[in-house]
Structure 1
Amino acid sequence: MKKKKLKIRSWLRQLGPGLVTGAADDDPSGIATYSQAGAKFGYELGWTVVLTYPLMVAVQIISASLGRVTGRGLADNIRENFPAPVLYALVIMLLVANTINVAADVAAMGQSLQLVVGGPVHLYAVGFGVVCLALEIYLPYRRYVTYLKWLTLVLFAYVAVALAANVSWSAVLSGIVWPRVPLSSDMLTVIVAVFGTTISPYLFFWQAALEVEEVEANPKAHALKQSPSQAPSQLRRIDIDTYVGM
């Protein structure tokens, strides 16, 4: 029994950057996109999961591996290997996309709280933004990431809702295997939105940065290019972490 518990704990310790990044992908703006897709097309876009999941996992594993191998984030790696205009263009696009995404998320959080308790939605949104910013600045990484890992348990609420709701699982399977909705401009727009919110650029930078934070927070950890002996276990951990997290 003790050995089994130790194995479970050892397995859980492998979850970190990938789990947190995957949970972050289920943000309010993403949920709104998926909800609108479901409301308009039902289960007929279920087939997108077959494409988005492996693509998302592959890109995130590459991003995380770059961070762990080099000990630097994506922006730093781009700076080292590409001309400055490429770096500036990518960072500016990322900044714009992140700003819009964060604004949408914070606004959705404010509106959600307003639905529960009433009151001024703008004040709630500003409050959420200030709290998130303060936690990132003042809370040590190791403690902060521990809280984030535990908060991912909230996502099981989606599983509970799916089990409690009257879901036609045959229709779900049909939507994944054999969708019957003809392509239209509306469907193409929703498909682009689903892919865009699922495979988001900020996630690439985030997971790579989290891997760098893991190295800096652990005195025994080193960038894999400096300590190749750690590569097999760490790359395996990244694979497990990302597959589970996404």
Structure 2
Amino acid sequence: MKNWFRNIGPGPLVAAAFIGPGTVTVCTLAGVNFGYTLLWAMVLSVIATIVLQDMAARLGIISQKGLSQVIREEIKNPVLRALSIILILSAIVIGNAAYEAGNISGGALGLESLVGHQTLNLFQYKVSAIPWILGFLAFVLLFLGKYRILERVLVGLVILMSLAFLSTAILTEPEVLSILKNMLVPQFPEESILTIVALVGTTVVPYNLFLHASLAKTKWKTNSAIGSARKDTILAVVLGGMVSMGIIISAAAIKTENINNAADLALALEPLFGTNAKYFLSIGLFAAGLTSAITAPLAAAYVASGCLGWRANLKSWRFRAVWMFVLGLGVIFSSLSFKSIEIIKFAQVANGLLLPIIVGFLLWVMNKTTVLGIYKNTKFQNILGLIIWVITIFLGLKGILSVFNLI
């Protein structure tokens, strides 16, 4: 066990990043509105995430560069390079800044379910206190600038989150055969397409591809580590997928539509399965919010460093300035009781629409001999990648058409 913990890589941090309040919210709504029928979308998402994150980790280990840095260096046309950098910076850095309010609000919802709503009087204004506590915890862990400490804290939170959500799913006494059937047989219930896009977008997260490449080069320095990185990715992503499915299964036990987030789900489960369900879900939501509140600013800082040619150092002030900006905005908006549920749902759909572009960049880079040499994608890896790319384009287009009521 000690050796296993010593060899843990960025995989759990990637899982920590994609199981945030957005995932909890989308999976809750999927379970409440469609029961088990969208579990297949989670299975598809897990497979796609493993394939793409494995590529990102391999890129980081072999090139010893982040994905955004490689894209900046490999696009030779100055106009295309500038457009690509603007797209990536706006999508990841600015997007994560807006999304951070949802991360912190989600974690606060979980904690408030346990300790109640706490307020502070600030310049004659009443603001919620718990987002500031979460923001302070995230700030301290990021400011320390020690990868090993960050890794251990996030691994601990992922384990706590996993136990919480999977225990809740077991408490609901689910129908195992029905779960297995819906995991394997795709179904498209009426008005489910945006939820499917959101489930894919909340699992195959574009910023995780940048984060994984950057963390992999920090963790591993030799090409022989590719095997360890692959095992680390598979284990962490499968566990993350099981957690997401656990949330869907828990939500499917509720026979009401007055559920908007996991805090509502916790309260709805209490009369059916006792106070334990409430505690498990609340702790899980708190852990999900805190992990994403740490990883979203971290990913934004890595992306900005790669795009702008900075040295990606956890203790660099330019690096710190980016994550402080993202974290600070999230804390302020969350403490002002900014309604985050609709923004969370919108962000998940936006992630799903942005994904084909980022996947296209990744597949292009993974086939460059000048970057990866003999470690570039094999034909089989390219076929898998292209299938995933086509699926993300298809779902993204259907999502856009659904938003404008064209289908």
Q: Per the shorter chain, which TM-score range?
A: 0.7 to 0.9
Q: Taking structure 1 as reference, are residues 178 and 85 closer, same or farther at Cα in structure 2, changes over 3 Å only? A: closer
Q: Taking structure 1 as reference, are residues 178 and 212 closer, same or farther at Cα in structure 2, changes over 3 Å only? A: closer
| Aligned Cα root-mean-square deviation (Å) | 1.9
Task: Give, as a single letter, the amino acid of the residue that structure 1 aligns with 2:231.
Answer: I
1:53-80 Cα offsets, whole Å, 9 max, x none, are: 1100111111111111111111111111
Counterpart residue number, 1:129: 135
1:131-182 Cα offsets, whole Å, 9 max, x none, are: 2023101242222212222232111222222222221112212222335x55
Counterpart residue number, 1:231: 223
Counterpart residue number, 2:95: 97
- Note the 1:130-145 alignment, pairs <5 A: 130-145=136-151
> Which residue, out of 45, 50, 55, partners 1:52?
45
Higher relative contact order (CA 8 A, sep 6+): 1
Task: Report how many aligned residue pairs link the two structures.
Answer: 223
Q: What SS does the corresponding residue of 1:44 show, helix, strand or coil?
A: coil
Task: Give, as a single letter, the amino acid of the residue that structure 2 aligns with 1:28.
Answer: P
Q: Work out the CA distance in 2 between the residues paired with 1:178 and 1:59.
A: 23
Q: Could you tell me whether the CA contact under 8 Å between 2:14 and 2:211 is conserved in 1?
A: yes
TM-score, normalised on structure 1? 0.83
- Note the 1:71-82 alignment, pairs <5 A: 71-82=64-75
Q: Work out the CA distance in 1 between the residues paired with 2:6 and 2:230.
A: 13
1:72-92 Cα offsets, whole Å, 9 max, x none, are: 111111111122321221121
1:12-63 Cα offsets, whole Å, 9 max, x none, are: 4332201221132111111111011000000000111231111001111111
Task: Give, as a single letter, the amino acid of the residue that structure 2 aligns with 1:213.
Answer: T
Q: Could you tell me whether the CA contact under 8 Å between 1:60 and 1:207 is conserved in 2?
A: yes
> Which residue, out of 171, 175, 188, partners 1:164?
171
> Which residue, out of 185, 193, 196, partners 1:188?
193
Q: Taking structure 1 as reference, are residues 93 and 162 closer, same or farther at Cα in structure 2, changes over 3 Å only? A: same
Q: Work out the CA distance in 2 between the residues paired with 1:86 and 1:158.
A: 38
Q: Work out the CA distance in 1 between the residues paired with 2:149 and 2:141.
A: 10
**Which blocks of at least 5 consecutive residues in structure 2 are unaligned?**
76-80, 120-126, 238-407
Q: Does 1:206 align with 2:197?
A: no
> Which residue, out of 84, 87, 94, partners 1:86?
84
Q: Work out the CA distance in 1 between the residues paired with 2:167 and 2:109.
A: 23
> Which residue, out of 152, 155, 159, partners 1:153?
159
Counterpart residue number, 2:292: none
Q: Work out the CA distance in 1 between the residues paired with 2:5 and 2:113.
A: 35
Q: Could you tell me whether the CA contact under 8 Å between 1:135 and 1:144 is conserved in 2?
A: yes
Q: Work out the CA distance in 2 between the residues paired with 1:138 and 1:12.
A: 21
Q: Work out the CA distance in 2 between the residues paired with 1:97 and 1:183.
A: 30
Q: Taking structure 1 as reference, are residues 112 and 50 closer, same or farther at Cα in structure 2, changes over 3 Å only? A: closer
**Which blocks of at least 5 consecutive residues in structure 1 are unaligned?**
1-7, 216-221, 223-229
Task: Give, as a single letter, the amino acid of the residue that structure 1 aligns with 2:85.
Answer: L
Q: Work out the CA distance in 2 between the residues paired with 1:57 and 1:84.
A: 30
TM-score, normalised on structure 2? 0.52
Q: What SS does the corresponding residue of 2:209 show, helix, strand or coil?
A: helix
1:202-236 Cα offsets, whole Å, 9 max, x none, are: 11111112113225xxxxxx3xxxxxxx323x100
Counterpart residue number, 1:3: none
Q: Work out the CA distance in 1 between the residues paired with 2:152 and 2:61.
A: 19
